[in-house]
């Protein structure tokens, strides 16, 4: 199969031919239809993700067509179009049994602990516990983008923070997961403020329905947000993974507010210095979140299929496999709005 291989940190991916993956006993092999390029891929590209051993095929947000089925997999047959969460839970441990697949200790994560979907084929273990059938009419590029950023935002808002209609949601960081939180937050009946330092992203967030957009670099950003929201947000989402936005997210909450750390803090940001006086005096709740259990995918697909949210504006660029390296390198600086999805694996 044709694949893009990460052989050295911060180096261009090697476009190469690899042996087709063998089918896991309880899994499937998918022919990849589309795979998103995500900031988490950039973390592994830079070498800051401790889970990654080289060489590896990156790519963790994908959809595909079932090509082969292992003897222990009951629910899928060749030809099925499916989507997987980026956390492939074992489906058999006590955490999985209690519905908390994202904390499964035996989880596999394509692109990090096993080869991912920057390739024509991907092996997906534990297929019955993780895969969901795609609606007939769903664009593969959109379906792929659901696998990480949209599902993460859906879990953060509906499970961790339990965002309620009529509340104010403050989204710090207007990248893929931030824009997903904006669109889903609006669909859930919240009013949404988006903060970023890139004017182009703020303008884009405005076109997607943001009630308020503010430049996070402005000295009076918190004051203006408090004014706009009548005292601060009920829920804040940190969607970048760095100290400055985490502090800003905590400080943007009204009393009894809930914050969700969605961005992945690595390197110098792994040990942030945070204003715990704000947590104490504001009686705040701080949630961590990572991914979404596969059993919650149908709720999201149903929301989309019912026409309650249009996520297609998230897809900014459809690229060939050979353009993935440039997309990864671009995460070094402020990126243009929207997400890039690999849809052509032949060049």
Nearer to Zn ion (CB atom), residue 67 or residue 95 = 95
Residue 102: exposure state from Cβ atoms within 10 A (0-12, 13-18, ≥19) = buried
User: CA torsion 308→310→311→316, rounded to 10°?
Assistant: -170
| Stretch in the footprint of Zn ion (CB under 5 A) among 64-72, 84-92, 192-200, 295-303 | 84-92
Asked if 93 touches Zn ion (CB under 5 A), the answer is yes
Are the CB atoms for 226 and 245 separated by under 8 Å? no
Asked if 264 touches Zn ion (CB under 5 A), the answer is no
Asked if 183 touches Zn ion (CB under 5 A), the answer is no
Are the CB atoms for 44 and 60 separated by under 8 Å? no
Residue 27's alpha-carbon distances to 32, 63, 109, 301, in angstroms, are 15, 15, 14, 22
In the list 13, 23, 37, 90, the residue contacting Zn ion (rule: CB under 5 A) is 90
Nearer to Zn ion (CB atom), residue 87 or residue 213 = 87
Nearest-angstrom CA–CA distance, 296 and 242 = 28
In the list 84, 87, 104, 236, the residue contacting Zn ion (rule: CB under 5 A) is 104
Nearer to Zn ion (CB atom), residue 93 or residue 319 = 93
Question: Helix crossing, 199-207 with 176-187: angle to 10°?
Answer: 30
Asked if 89 touches Zn ion (CB under 5 A), the answer is yes
Nearer to Zn ion (CB atom), residue 105 or residue 256 = 105
Asked if 63 touches Zn ion (CB under 5 A), the answer is no
Joined tokens for residue 124: 């997906």
What is the sign, positive or negative, of the torsion defined by CA atoms of 236, 242, 244, 250? positive
Joined tokens for residue 123: 């092996």
Q: How many residues sit close enough to Zn ion to count as binding (CB under 5 A)?
A: 8
Q: Provide, rounded to whole angstroms, the least separation between the CB of residue 37 and Zn ion.
A: 9
In the list 119, 148, 242, 342, the residue contacting Zn ion (rule: CB under 5 A) is 148
Nearer to Zn ion (CB atom), residue 152 or residue 252 = 152
How do beta strands 121-124 and 28-37 pair?
antiparallel
Listed residue (239, 240, 242, 237) closest to 252, CA to CA = 237
Nearer to Zn ion (CB atom), residue 90 or residue 248 = 90
In the list 32, 40, 102, 234, the residue contacting Zn ion (rule: CB under 5 A) is 40
| Stretch in the footprint of Zn ion (CB under 5 A) among 40-48, 110-118, 133-141, 153-161 | 40-48
Q: Provide, rounded to whole angstroms, the least separation between the CB of residue 106 and Zn ion.
A: 5
- The residue ranges that bind Zn ion (CB under 5 A) are 38, 40, 89-90, 93, 96, 104, 148
């Amino acid at each position: 199969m044709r694949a893009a291989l990460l052989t050295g940190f911060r180096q261009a991916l090697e476009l190469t031919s690899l042996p087709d993956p063998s089918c896991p006993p309880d899994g499937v092999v998918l022919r990849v239809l589309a795979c998103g390029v995500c900031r988490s891929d950039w973390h592994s590209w830079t070498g800051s993700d401790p889970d990654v051993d080289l060489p590896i095929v990156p790519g963790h947000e994908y959809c595909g067509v079932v090509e082969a089925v292992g003897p222990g997999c009951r629910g899928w047959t060749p030809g099925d179009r499916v989507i997987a969460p980026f956390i492939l839970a074992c489906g058999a441990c006590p955490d999985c049994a209690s519905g908390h697949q994202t904390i499964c200790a035996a989880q596999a994560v394509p692109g990090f602990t096993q080869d991912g979907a920057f390739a024509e084929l991907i092996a997906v273990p534990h297929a019955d516990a993780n895969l969901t059938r795609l609606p007939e009419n769903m664009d593969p590029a959109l379906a792929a983008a659901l696998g990480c950023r949209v599902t993460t935002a859906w879990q953060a808002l509906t499970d961790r923070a339990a965002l309620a209609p009529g509340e104010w949601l403050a989204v710090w960081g207007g990248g893929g997961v931030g824009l997903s939180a904006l669109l889903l937050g609006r669909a859930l009946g919240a009013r949404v403020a988006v903060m970023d330092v890139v004017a182009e992203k703020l303008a884009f967030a405005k076109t997607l329905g943001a009630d308020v957009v503010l430049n996070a670099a402005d000295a009076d950003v918190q004051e203006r947000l408090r004014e706009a929201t009548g005292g601060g947000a009920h829920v804040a989402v940190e969607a970048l993974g760095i100290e400055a936005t985490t502090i800003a997210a905590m400080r943007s909450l009204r009393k009894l507010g809930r914050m969700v750390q969605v961005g992945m803090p690595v390197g110098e940001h792994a040990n942030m210095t945070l204003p715990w006086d704000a947590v104490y005096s504001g009686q705040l709740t701080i949630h961590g979140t990572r991914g979404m259990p596969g059993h919650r995918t149908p709720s999201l697909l149903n929301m989309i299929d019912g026409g309650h949210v249009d996520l297609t504006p998230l897809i900014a660029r459809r690229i060939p496999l050979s353009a993935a390296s440039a997309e990864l390198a671009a995460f070094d600086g402020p990126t243009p709005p929207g997400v890039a999805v690999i849809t052509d694996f032949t060049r």
